[in-house]
């Protein structure tokens, strides 16, 4: 009973967060930057921030995560971090030779008020940035938003710095995913590939943070969108943003800066979510849905029908990043499960609440932002126990204490593997998710049913 | 081949080849992929295992989120320390100050959880916005009647070592609060063991068998009340060179308690840790009991190590750990397994530490301070290491390169301290180096002369 202290009665808390269901902006910016080829994320702040983010991402992906830091000292926090970052830029290009350095700020450098745009210009005029190399920045104050905001900000900064409208009409569309797993990014590309669509996708962390073991430590793994691709995004015909909170900033900026119209979709999780995505893809690229994609859809639908009796009416509590939990809610509705609770530490606004209610019904309890933490989530569960929890590793305390099964989805996952390699998005992701859900309910039935109704064929 | 930055050249040393004094204690070079963390991290890891205290992180959410239950420090009772509490500072507080929020959070938490004491960690931003954390803590302490201790751990104020110091200063305020509970004339405090995977329980059991009372553990499986009477123990036994020496020095100055430095890793160091304590008390009975403990343990252990040694003889290891004291023990422990250390480094070693490493390692061994992944992978390749011993950020680097790994940091799953820890350590190293998975590693296949 690790959480034996959690009281059932929900009282108003004025100030504090207990067991957060979010983390700070910079780690999201670091993750987004890893989705660009030969890009080295750089943390402009104290050394600890960078070490923590790298450790957290390493625990989640079990792959080396490379990033550098300005290593602030007391002096830097009085006089500003300009000297630190100028020195860092020189050292990084000399030593690690990335194509691009993606600087994100921290609470410290934000409060000091370092003007990164001006500092980068200074680095350019002083010749500290070698020919053909680039440095960009994004502002990620840790006291605003969450890791999802940081991811969105860094993604938008790539557009701000690199996307250009040259006037050439390229026969391609842009795909911008929210903060999701590398496996999910691969799956989105797979669907577009199967439909024969030309696209640019960024960030793209597949083959970066889920690299193979091939006997070599690579500072820059094979994957990631190239700067050339991000540049060309300004000449695409359309942008599809997948996930409102994580992806729309970059998509909207492509619209205002390069006049590439955008459409903002939810993450394609479950049958209906993927249908929406595939339909948008089809219209954006002017192609027909390929037979291979229809086959995947048909297989998912087939299993949904076959096994409906095992998912029907089961209750679920969801916690995680807004884009992800919204997708999960869609999936749950598709397979006829009932969502009781939706909680996210990242503030998602009233539109999000309305959308969740539209999907799950008026009775669903939805809360995001301040005080929407794991403590609160646990209290909700104590008051109405679901059959299943969907959330990150930190749900394991609740799952254990309350005796409720947990499927790990979201960030971070520190105690299971698979999320790096197998998707939850797309039809195939839906099938994987459904298999996981069914395994839990059917194993439970096998374990708990009385002998006379213990079934061989299910 | 990679370059080593000019600024860092003197932080890397090849034994038998270079003759300069290794540079250390330097701030990391800006722009390096340092494996080091910050002041807050230092304080947080040291105080974290005090299980019945409340640990409130005063700052934006990240600092609390990244340190939530990531340390495998076990508690025999209270699990309060494993929860994550944060004031989650937002823009509003950055502008108008966070004192009100801090006060409200503390009051709510103390009312709800009734902890024995509370630690309030200042993060970077608190240092800048100028919250008077001291005053808020004093007020809450007065109102609630428990010690509420500020930890001045603003991340930018130095290195992880400075965080240890801030932690020591905070914990020192808990010492000396209990003068009534009787304490044995043969009593010690264990300083600088954090009870990872239950290690302190193993060590305590040895001391118990020797007839020694452990008055308090600071901080592994730590309790506020025990720390309150720590000043009445006769000796401080300090492990982990960096983190707790400062507390030991303060306790010596204020309470006149002498201290010795020990390590619980490996056979020699573990034995000395027991003998040094026995010799301090200079009591015939204790010395005899100690001999008995060591004899029993070593005679069960050594034959078991033999089978591991047969497989491991001639293998080479690279070590990169936080504190250098641990590195000393590891070099010696590996020698028992027939493994030679070819690369050894630490995040926080001193000049003295590195000189000692020079003495105990062989010619050609690379000794490095505050290294980074690119350097480390280069050294590993150059020296042909078969095994890397390190922490969470080093593990995937070793695996990608196709060499074995042993976690000797927070995330160790097995106790590595004590004599039985030596056995676990040998088993872990053996199972990683001898894993059949390496048969499929491209680097190994190439090394063995086969086709890639």
Q: What is the pLDDT of residues B108-166, one digit of tens each?
A: 999 999 999 999 999 999 989 999 999 999 999 999 999 999 999 999 998 888 999 99
In this predicted structure, what is the pLDDT of residue B451? 41
Mean pLDDT value of segment B350-366? 92
ipTM rounded to 2 decimals: 0.94
3-state secondary structure A155-216: HHHHHHHHCCCCCCCCCCEEEEECCCCHHHHHHHHHHHHHCCCCEEECCCCCCCCCCCCCCC
Decide if B392 and A107 are in contact by the 8 Å CB cutoff: no
Residues 6+ positions from B45 with CB-CB distance below 8 Å:
B67, B71, B163, B194, B243, B410
What pairing do the DSSP bridges indicate for beta strands A68-69 and A39-44? parallel
Give the single-character DSSP code of A49.
H
- CB neighbours of A19 closer than 8 A, spacing ≥ 6? A373, A374, A375, A378, A394, A397, B68, B83, B84
Question: How many angstroms away from the CA of B112 is the closest CA of chain A?
Answer: 8
User: What pLDDT was estimated at residue B29?
Assistant: 80
Q: Are the C-beta atoms of residues A32 and A154 closer than 8 Å to each other?
A: yes
Sole residue written with tokens 């932690």: B167
CB pair distance less than 8 Å for B129 and A13: no
Identify all chain B residues contacting A27, using CB atoms and an 8 Å cutoff: 62
Q: State how far residue A4 is from chain B, nearest Cα, in angstroms.
A: 9
Task: Look at A217 and B373 and tell me if their CB atoms are within 8 Å.
Answer: yes
Q: Under a CB-based contact definition with an 8 Å cutoff, are residues B264 and B419 in contact? A: no
B34 contacts in chain A (CB < 8 Å) = 47, 50-51, 69, 71
Q: Are A150 and A26 in contact (CB under 8 A)?
A: yes
Q: Is B105 on the interface with A (CB under 8 A)?
A: yes
Shortest CA distance from A371: residue in chain B: B88
Listed in sequence order, the DSSP H helices in A63-169 are 74-79, 82-95, 107-112, 116-125, 147-162
- Check A16 against B401: CB less than 8 A apart: no
Query: CA distances (Å), B223 to each of B43, B78, B80, in order?
Result: 17, 9, 11
Distance from CA of B334 to the nearest CA of A (A): 24
Which A positions 7-46 lie with beta carbon below 8 A of chain B? 7, 13-20, 22-24, 26-27, 42, 45-46
> What is the CA angle B284-B287-B288, rounded to 5?
85
Mean pLDDT, rounded, for B15-24 = 85
The structure's pTM equals 0.95
Reported as a pLDDT band with limits 50, 70 and 90, residue B2 is: low
Q: CB contact, 8 Å: B12 with chain A?
A: no
Contact: A18, B89; criterion CB under 8 Å: no
What was the pLDDT predicted at B450?
46
Residue among A20, A62, A141 whose CB faces B396 most closely: A62
Residue B65 vs residue B160, higher pLDDT: B65
Which residues does B37 contact at the CB level (< 8 Å), separation at least 6? Answer: A47, A48, A51, A52, B160
What's the Rg (C-alpha) of chain B? 23
- Of the candidates B93, B150, B146, B163, the one whose C-alpha atom is nearest the C-alpha of residue B121 is B150
Q: Is A87 on the interface with B (CB under 8 A)?
A: yes
In B, which residues are within 8 Å of A49 by CB distance?
Answer: 38, 62, 155
Q: Rounded to whole angstroms, how far apart are CA atoms B111 and B105?
A: 10
Distance in angstroms (rounded) separating the CA atoms of residues A113 and A98 = 27
Give me A378's structure tokens. Answer: 């646990």
The residues of A that are catalytic are 107, 111
Q: Looking at the complex, does the CB of residue B146 fall below 8 Å from at least one CB of chain A?
A: no
Q: Is B276 exposed, middle or buried (0-12, 13-18, 19+ CB in 10 A)?
A: middle
pLDDT for position B452: 37
Which residue is closest to A28 within chain B, CA to CA? B62
Query: How remote is the C-alpha of B310 from its chain's centroid?
Result: 31
Residues of B within 8 A of A106 (CB-CB) are 124
Collect the ranges in chain A with pLDDT lower than 50: none
In this structure, how many other beta carbons lie within 10 angstroms of the beta carbon of residue B210?
24
Average pLDDT over residues B397-421: 90
Q: Which of A34, A47, A60, A321 to mutate to test the interface with B (most CBs of B within 10 A)?
A: A47
Q: Give the model's pLDDT for residue B8.
A: 81
Answer yes or no: do A96 and B33 touch at CB < 8 A.
yes
- Any A CB within 8 A of B27 CB: yes
Extents of the domains making up chain B: 6-26+305-447, 39-172, 187-293
Residue B425's pLDDT is 96
B222 close to A (CB below 8 A): no
Q: Using an 8 Å Cβ cutoff, are B10 and B23 in contact?
A: yes
Cβ atoms < 10 Å from Cβ of B375:
25
Domain B39-172: CATH class, spelled out: alpha beta
Residue A48 and residue B65: Cβ atoms within 8 Å?
Answer: no
B353 within 8 A of B324, measured Cβ to Cβ: yes
* Most confident option among A111-125, B6-20, B22-36: A111-125
C-alpha–C-alpha distance, residues B220 and B275, integer Å: 22
Percent of chain B with pLDDT over 70: 97
- Which residue, A55, A62, A5, is CA-closest to A30? A55
Which residues in chain A have Cβ-Cβ distances shorter than 8 Å to B80?
Answer: 5
Identify the closest residue of chain B to A70 by CA–CA distance: B30
How far does CA B396 lie from the centroid of its chain? Answer: 21
Of A49, A62, A143, the CB nearest to B90: A143
Same fold? B39-172, B187-293: yes
Partners of residue A68 in chain B, C-beta under 8 Å: 31-33
Binning pLDDT at 50, 70 and 90, where does residue B350 land?
A: confident
Is CATH 2.40.30.10 correct for B187-293? Answer: no
| Lowest-confidence segment of A333-342, B55-64, B330-339, B374-383 by average pLDDT | B374-383
Residue B4 contacts by C-beta under 8 Å, 6 or more apart in sequence? Answer: B12, B375
Q: With an 8 Å Cβ cutoff, is B349 touching chain A? A: no
Contact A54/B393, CB-based, under 8 Å? Answer: yes
Write down the pLDDT at residue A408: 98
* B258 to chain A, closest Cα gap in Å: 34
pLDDT of residue B446: 65
The highest-level CATH class for domain B6-26+305-447 is: alpha beta
Show residues of chain B in contact with A217, CB under 8 Å.
373, 377, 397, 400-401
Give the confidence band of B444 by pLDDT, cuts at 50, 70, 90.
Answer: low
Task: List B404's β-bridge partners, or say none.
Answer: B387
Closest CA of chain A from B313, distance in Å? 23
Residues of A with CB below 8 A from B374's CB?
Answer: 95-96, 219
Query: Which residues in chain A have Cβ-Cβ distances shorter than 8 Å to B377?
Result: 217
The size of the A-B interface in CB pairs under 8 A is 247
- Does the CB of B156 have a partner CB in chain A at under 8 Å? yes
Q: Say whether pLDDT at B291 is over 70.
A: yes
Cβ of B33 under 8 Å from any chain A Cβ?
A: yes
Would an 8 Å CB–CB cutoff place A141 in contact with chain B? yes
- Tell me the nearest-neighbour CA distance from A186 into chain B, angstroms: 21
Q: What is the pLDDT of residue A400?
A: 96
Q: In angstroms, what separates the C-alpha of B174 from chain A's closest C-alpha?
A: 25
A47 touches chain B (CB under 8 A): yes
Burial of A29 (0-12, 13-18, 19+ CB in 10 A): buried
CA separation, residue A98 to residues A30, A37, B136 (Å): 15, 9, 46
Q: What is the pLDDT of residue B392?
A: 83
Contact B124 A108 (CB under 8 A): yes
Rounded Cα–Cα distance for residues A166 and A180 (Å): 31
3-state secondary structure chain B: CCCCCHHHHHHEEECCCCCCCCCCCCCCCCCCCCCCCCHHHHHHHHHCCECCEEEEEECCHHHHHCCCCCCCECCCCCCHHHCCEECCCCHHHHHHCCHHHHHHHHHHHHHHHCCCEEEEEECHHHHHHCCCHHHHHHHHHHHHCCCEEEECCCHHHCCHHHHHHHHHHHHHCCCCCCCCCCCCCCEEEEECCCCECCHHHHHHHHHHHHCCEEEEEECCCECHHHHHCHHHCCEEEECCHHHHHHHHHHHHHHHCCCEEECCCCCHHHHHHHHHHHHHHHCCHHHHHHHHHHHHHHHHHHHHHHHHHHHHHCCCEEEEEECCHHHHHHHHHHHHHCCCEEEEEEECCCCHHHHHHHHHHCCCCCEEEECCCHHHHHHHHHHHCCCEEEECCCCHHHHHHHCCEEEECCCCCCCCCCHHHHHHHHHHHHHHHHCCHHHHHCHHHHHHCCCCC
Provide the pLDDT for residue A417.
Answer: 96
State how far residue A89 is from chain B, nearest Cα, in angstroms: 7
Whether residue A417 lies within 8 A of chain B, CB to CB, comes out as no
Query: Hey, which residues does A342 pair with through a beta bridge?
Result: A318, A366
């Amino acid at each position: 009973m690790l959480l034996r202290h959690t009281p059932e009665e929900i009282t108003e808390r004025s100030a504090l967060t207990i067991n957060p269901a979010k983390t700070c902006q910079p780690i999201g910016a670091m993750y987004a930057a890893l989705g660009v080829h030969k890009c080295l994320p750089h943390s402009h702040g104290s050394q600890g921030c960078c070490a923590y983010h790298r450790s957290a991402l390493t625990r989640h992906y079990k792959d080396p995560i490379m990033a550098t830091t300005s290593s602030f000292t007391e002096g830097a926090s009085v006089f500003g971090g300009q000297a630190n970052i100028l020195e860092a830029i020189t050292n990084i290009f000399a030593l690690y030779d990335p194509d691009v350095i993606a600087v994100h700020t921290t609470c410290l450098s934000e409060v000091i008020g370092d003007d990164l745009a001006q500092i980068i210009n200074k680095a350019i005029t002083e010749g500290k940035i070698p020919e053909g190399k680039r440095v960009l920045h994004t502002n990620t104050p840790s006291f605003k938003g969450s890791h999802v905001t940081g991811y969105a900000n860094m993604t938008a900064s790539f557009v701000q710095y690199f996307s250009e409208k040259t006037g050439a009409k390229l026969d391609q569309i842009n795909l911008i995913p929210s903060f999701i797993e590398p496996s999910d990014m691969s799956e989105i590309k797979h669907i577009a590939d199967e439909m024969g669509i030309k696209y640019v996708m960024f960030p793209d962390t597949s083959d970066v943070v889920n690299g193979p073991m091939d006997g070599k430590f690579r500072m820059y793994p094979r994957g990631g969108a190239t700067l050339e691709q991000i540049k060309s995004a300004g000449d695409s015909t359309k942008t599809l943003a997948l996930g409102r909170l994580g992806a729309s900033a970059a998509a909207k900026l492509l619209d205002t800066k390069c006049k590439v119209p955008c459409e903002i979709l939810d993450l394609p999780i479950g049958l209906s979510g993927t249908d929406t995505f595939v339909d948008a893809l089809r219209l954006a690229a002017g192609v027909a849905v390929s037979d291979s994609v229809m086959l995947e859809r048909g297989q998912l639908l087939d299993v949904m029908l076959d096994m409906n009796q095992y998912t029907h009416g089961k209750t679920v509590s969801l916690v995680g990043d807004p884009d992800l939990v919204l997708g999960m809610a869609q999936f749950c509705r598709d397979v006829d499960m009932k969502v009781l609770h939706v909680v996210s530490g990242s503030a998602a606004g009233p539109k999000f609440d309305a959308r969740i209610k539209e999907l799950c019904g008026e009775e669903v309890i939805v809360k995001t932002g301040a005080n929407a933490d794991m403590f609160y989530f646990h209290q909700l569960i104590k008051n109405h126990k679901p059959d299943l929890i969907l959330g990150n590793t930190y749900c394991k305390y609740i799952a254990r204490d309350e005796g409720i099964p947990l499927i790990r989805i979201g960030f971070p996952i520190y105690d299971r593997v698979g999320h790096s390699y197998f998707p939850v998005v797309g039809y195939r992701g839906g099938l994987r998710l459904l298999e996981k859900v069914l395994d839990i309910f059917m194993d439970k039935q096998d374990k708990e049913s009385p002998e006379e109704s213990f079934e061989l064929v299910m | 081949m990679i370059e080593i930055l000019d600024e860092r050249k003197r932080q890397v040393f090849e034994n038998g080849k270079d003759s300069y004094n290794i540079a250390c204690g330097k701030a990391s070079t800006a722009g390096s992929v340092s494996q080091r963390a910050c002041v807050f991290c230092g304080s947080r890891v040291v105080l974290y295992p005090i299980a019945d205290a409340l640990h409130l992180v005063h700052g934006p959410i990240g600092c609390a989120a990244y340190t939530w239950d990531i340390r495998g420090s076990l508690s025999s009772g209270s699990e309060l320390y494993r929860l994550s509490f944060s004031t989650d500072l937002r823009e509003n507080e950055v502008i108008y100050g966070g004192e009100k929020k801090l006060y409200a959070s503390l009051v709510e938490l103390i009312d709800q959880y009734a902890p024995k004491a509370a630690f309030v960690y200042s993060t970077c931003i608190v240092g800048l916005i100028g919250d008077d954390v001291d005053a808020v803590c004093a007020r809450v302490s007065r109102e609630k009647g428990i010690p509420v201790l500020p930890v001045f751990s603003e991340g930018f104020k130095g290195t992880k070592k400075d965080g240890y110091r801030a932690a020591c200063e905070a914990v020192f305020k808990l010492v000396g609060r209990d003068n009534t509970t009787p304490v044995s004339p043969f009593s010690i405090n264990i300083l600088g063991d954090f009870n990872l995977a239950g290690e302190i329980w193993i060590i305590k059991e040895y001391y118990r068998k020797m007839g020694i009372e452990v008055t308090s553990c600071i901080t592994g499986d730590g309790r506020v009340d025990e720390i309150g009477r720590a000043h009445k123990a006769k000796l401080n036994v300090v492990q982990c060179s960096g983190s707790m020496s400062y507390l030991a020095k303060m306790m010596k100055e204020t309470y006149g308690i002498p201290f010795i430095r020990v390590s619980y890793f490996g056979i020699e160091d573990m034995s000395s840790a027991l003998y040094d304590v026995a010799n301090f008390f200079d009591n015939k009975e204790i010395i005899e009991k100690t001999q008995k403990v060591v004899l029993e343990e070593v005679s069960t252990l050594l034959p078991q190590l033999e089978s591991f040694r047969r497989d491991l003889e001639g293998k080479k290891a690279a070590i990169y750990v936080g504190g250098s004291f641990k590195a000393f023990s590891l070099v010696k422990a590996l020698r028992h397994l027939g493994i030679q250390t070819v690369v050894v480094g630490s995040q926080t070693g001193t000049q003295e530490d590195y000189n000692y490493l020079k003495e105990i390692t062989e010619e050609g061994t690379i000794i490095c301070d505050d290294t980074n992944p690119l350097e480390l992978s280069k050294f590993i390749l150059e020296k042909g290491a078969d095994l890397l011993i390190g922490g969470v950020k080093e593990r995937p680097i070793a695996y990608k390169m196709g060499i074995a790994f042993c976690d000797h940091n927070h995330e160790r799953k097995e106790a590595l301290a004590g004599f039985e820890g030596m056995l676990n350590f040998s088993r872990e190293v053996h199972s990683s180096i001898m894993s059949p998975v390496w048969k499929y590693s491209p680097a190994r296949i190439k090394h063995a002369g086969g086709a890639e």
